[in-house]
């Protein structure tokens, strides 16, 4: 047998992937990607079908806002399409520095560093700030990027029950003699249930037990607080949170993440956060679009958009409740519709899509096993008629599946 023939007859060393994949497909838990053709809007075309869109994180409609588009186009025309290097070599443009200063002013903190994504902001920051002698105390439903950052840091990780301040304190008492640094970390708004973190109580614990306090405000930036300043502003915890992470990819409408804190923290991250050091910075168009987004947020139009988002959220929740849906925990525009079994959640989402409404199913590993759900997200740009039609359709399809 020739070498080539011998190679061809051997199974690929990756064949186990195909087996896992087939297994997921058989269980009905391997959905295909929905493909958007056109703009990310409240009514959009996915897979060639026009649907009411309850699936995007575009809370304020900024992905298609004219002032962001204009800023992005102008910066692209002037400066080209790429930054050409990582920040620490030659990829720091004036646009990046201006954006960081603007965000720091907006959040009323000393300094800010922008990352390529919220994911890299979390992962890069936790792993730069903590080391193997240290302790991370983390809410059990924190985002994957926090968990990955915690693992990369090699610190000891202890998990407290979701939003359970007493359980967090139990861990702090048990580790009272810990020699290394300690970090308490929580999402500001939990992305799967739409709940707000008990931030004031966690800050009190951080102060009592001398911990660093960190919050991930991905779903709160542009949503909570004055003009969308985030959870710290919403819950009046100014000056009590050492590290505030946010994303530029959700309500801000473009792409990226940021970390806000003291000047020294940010200068240290410039030297030690690995995504900052080893991955190229934002294209000029993206940095300029983000600047335009913060300018907009901090204007009367921004205030109006945030108010509209909350008015739409109240309206949609009321309409869903009238139709028998329950989502006690949600305090934000994220509305979970609990189904339980993952295959059924995928079936619900598929039937809903066929009926003209897009709300994705989320199952394991995004949420715990047996807690599968649909997740609906309201935006400022939905019209009442969209939300009414979506509520009717959810109820109709939900009934056929015994979910409501």
Ligand X SMILES: *Cc1c(COP(=O)(O)O)cnc(C)c1O
Contacts with ligand X by CB under 6 A lie at 117-119, 122, 143, 145, 187, 191, 216, 218-219, 247, 249, 257
- Options 117, 145, 153, 191, the catalytic residue: 191
Cβ distance 59 to 333 under 8 Å?
Answer: yes
Nearer to ligand X, 93 or 123 (CB): 123
Nearer to ligand X, 249 or 349 (CB): 249
Whole-number minimum distance, CB 210 to ligand X, in Å? 26
Cβ distance 156 to 130 under 8 Å?
Answer: no
- Options 143, 163, 182, 250, the catalytic residue: 250
Nearer to ligand X, 106 or 209 (CB): 106
Omega before 364 cis (within 30°)?
Answer: no
Nearer to ligand X, 63 or 122 (CB): 122
Nearer to ligand X, 247 or 393 (CB): 247
Nearer to ligand X, 76 or 366 (CB): 366
Whole-number minimum distance, CB 145 to ligand X, in Å? 5
Whole-number minimum distance, CB 113 to ligand X, in Å? 14
Q: Point out the residue whose Cβ comes nearest to ligand X.
A: 118
| DSSP percent split of the chain into helix, strand, coil, nearest 5 | 45, 15, 40
Whole-number minimum distance, CB 29 to ligand X, in Å? 21
The length of the chain, given as a count of residues: 404
Strands (E), 59-181: 111-115, 135-139, 156-160
Rounded to whole angstroms, how far apart are CA atoms 259 and 369?
32
- Options 107, 219, 242, 317, the catalytic residue: 219
* Helix 284-297 and helix 94-107, axial crossing angle in degrees, nearest 10: 20
Q: 383 an active-site residue?
A: no
Tokens read off for 402: 């015994």
Q: 20 an active-site residue?
A: no
Nearer to ligand X, 148 or 298 (CB): 148
Q: Give every CB contact of residue 183 below 8 A, 6+ residues apart in sequence.
A: 126, 129, 130, 134, 135, 136, 137, 155, 211, 212, 213, 214
3-state secondary structure of 22: helix
Q: 338 an active-site residue?
A: no
Rounded to whole angstroms, how far apart are CA atoms 370 and 377?
21
Whole-number minimum distance, CB 123 to ligand X, in Å? 9
3-state secondary structure of 69: helix
Whole-number minimum distance, CB 224 to ligand X, in Å? 13
Tokens read off for 283: 């294209």
Element (H, E) at 247: strand 243-247
Upper half-sphere CA count for residue 134 (Cβ side, 13 Å) = 22
* Helix 284-297 and helix 66-79, axial crossing angle in degrees, nearest 10: 150
* Helix 144-153 and helix 118-129, axial crossing angle in degrees, nearest 10: 30
Q: Which of these, 217, 272, 227, lies nearest to 249 by C-alpha position?
A: 217
Whole-number minimum distance, CB 208 to ligand X, in Å? 26
Residues annotated as catalytic are: 191, 219, 250
């Amino acid at each position: 047998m020739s070498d080539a023939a011998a190679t061809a007859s051997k199974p690929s060393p990756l064949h186990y992937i195909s087996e896992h994949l087939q297994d997921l497909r058989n269980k009905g838990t391997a959905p295909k990607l929905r493909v958007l053709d056109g703009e990310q809007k409240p009514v959009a075309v996915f897979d060639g079908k026009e649907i009411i869109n309850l699936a995007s994180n575009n809370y304020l409609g900024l992905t298609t806002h004219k002032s962001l588009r204009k800023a992005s186009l102008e910066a692209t025309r002037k400066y080209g399409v790429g930054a050409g290097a990582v920040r620490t070599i030659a990829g720091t443009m004036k646009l990046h520095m201006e954006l960081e200063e603007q965000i720091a002013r907006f959040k009323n903190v000393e300094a800010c560093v922008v990352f390529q994504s919220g994911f890299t902001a979390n992962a890069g920051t936790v792993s730069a700030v903590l080391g193997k002698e240290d302790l991370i105390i983390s809410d059990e439903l924190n985002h994957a990027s926090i968990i990955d950052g915690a693992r990369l840091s090699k610190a000891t990780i202890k998990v407290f029950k979701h939003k359970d301040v007493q359980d967090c304190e139990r861990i702090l008492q048990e580790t009272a003699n810990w020699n290394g640094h300690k970090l308490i970390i929580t999402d500001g708004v939990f992305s799967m249930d739409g709940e707000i973190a008990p931030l004031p109580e966690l800050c009190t614990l951080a102060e009592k037990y001398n911990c660093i306090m960190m919050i991930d405000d991905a779903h709160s930036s542009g949503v909570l607080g004055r003009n969308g300043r985030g959870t710290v502003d919403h819950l009046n915890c100014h000056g009590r949170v050492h590290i505030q992470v946010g994303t530029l990819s959700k309500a801000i409408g473009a792409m990226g993440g940021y970390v806000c804190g003291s000047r020294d923290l940010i200068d240290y991250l410039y030297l030690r956060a690995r995504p900052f050091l080893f991955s190229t910075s934002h294209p000029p168009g993206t940095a300029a679009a983000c600047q335009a987004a913060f300018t907009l947020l901090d204007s009367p139009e921004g205030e109006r958009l945030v108010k509209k988002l909350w008015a739409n959220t109240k309206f949609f929740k009321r309409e869903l409740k009238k139709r028998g849906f329950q989502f006690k925990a949600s305090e934000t525009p994220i509305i979970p519709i609990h189904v339980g079994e993952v295959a059924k959640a995928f079936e619900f989402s598929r039937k809903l899509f066929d009926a003209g409404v897009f709300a994705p199913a989320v199952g394991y590993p995004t949420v715990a096993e047996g807690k599968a759900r649909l997740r609906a997200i309201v935006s400022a740009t939905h019209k009442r008629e969209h939300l009414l039609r979506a509520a009717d359709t959810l109820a109709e399809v939900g009934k056929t599946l015994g979910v409501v």
